[in-house]
Structure 1
Amino acid sequence: MVVDPTNSAIVYAGGAAGTNSLIRSTNSGASWTDITSGVSGGPHVDHHAAAFDASGRYLDGDDGGIYRLDNVTPITWTQLNGNLNTIQFESIGLHPTDINTALGGSQDNG
């Protein structure tokens, strides 16, 4: 959860697992709007970090990298990863007889 540094009534909250949306409130949490559901090109699931850029735009750090909220009406997100490939490994194992082979188990993306 993070509060907009220029307007304390604007609050953002992110979820994981069963609630992978980002929600936004403009009235100090009295009501919320999902700003990710059904949006093309929006953030990946499992939100881990939140911040604001120098222009005051919301940034989401998630399993898919970093995304910036450019507009709330209509909702517009920009992926900021460039050529950065992101992945979250859950486990790794070495082949029992071939030292040149390793296997990795990753979450969501591979």
Structure 2
Amino acid sequence: MPKKRSPSETWYKNIRPIIWKRDGEKCVNCSTCISLSECHIDHILSGLKGSNKFSNLRTLCPRCHVLRSDNNHRGMIQSALGKNLIVADWRKFVWDEKEY
């Protein structure tokens, strides 16, 4: 999580749509078209070092968001497996910023 979060109303009504539109309404990692309601707005630099600046935000599909190599995302794996969002051998699909 970034140090300071935007209020929910600002995040959902303003920031999410702006980032999604900027990114062409698709996942910036796999280029899959995705609806605003299904997309994830990801912090490129997450945790205490991250910010909500637009330059630190990007659109990801749920699968790419879960598979991003980021210690802050570890808790999403079990849920994604249960929803069949990722496969059992998910580790070979993990990606990091060096590949982005």
TM-score interval for Structure 1 and Structure 2 normalised by the shorter chain: under 0.3
Structure number having the greater helix percentage: 2
Greater RCO (CA < 8 Å, at least 6 residues apart): 2
TM-score when normalising by structure 1: 0.26
Q: Name which one, 1 or 2, has greater alpha-carbon Rg.
A: 1
Structure number having the greater strand percentage: 1
